[in-house]
Amino acid sequence: MYYKMSSRVAVPPAGWIVRIRRLKYEKQYWDFNSAVNGYIQIAEANPALRLSTDWNTVADIVDIQNAARVARIGGAQNYVVLVEGSVPEEAICSTRPGLKKCCGLK
């Protein structure tokens, strides 16, 4: 089980954050589509990292990363929902135990 955003239209607290930990890259966006396209641009510019450039896959990655972040913010739980399944490896945005647990990882 892991968290996903309840809406991709509503902007979460602090906006949509794109993190690519292997590049130590982090950028804030104010709409979901821009965040997904920003991730794809970075992935295409760094083919050696073998990051996904599939829009639907990247959309899930951005969604899961932001849900893990937002679920830890007090009073922001209405932005996230708990879902069944396993988290894609690329969606793991942090090695911190708290965020890994939030994503449903041990």
Bigger pLDDT: 85 vs 102: 85
Q: In whole angstroms, how large is the CA radius of gyration of the chain?
A: 13
Alpha-carbon dihedral angle through residues 60, 10, 79, 16, given to the nearest 10 degrees: 50
- Rounded CA-CA distance 39/56 in Å is 12
Residue 95 binned pLDDT confidence (cut-offs 50, 70, 90): very low
In the chain, the number of structural domains is 1
On whether the CB atoms of residues 29 and 21 are closer than 8 A, the answer is no
- Write the CA distances from 90 to 10, 57, 102, integer angstroms: 23, 10, 15
For the cut 90, the answer to whether the pLDDT of residue 75 exceeds it is no
pLDDT tens per residue across span 15-56: 999 999 889 999 999 999 999 999 999 999 999 999 999 999
Q: Residue 41: which domain range?
A: 2-102
The whole-number pLDDT of residue 42 equals 96
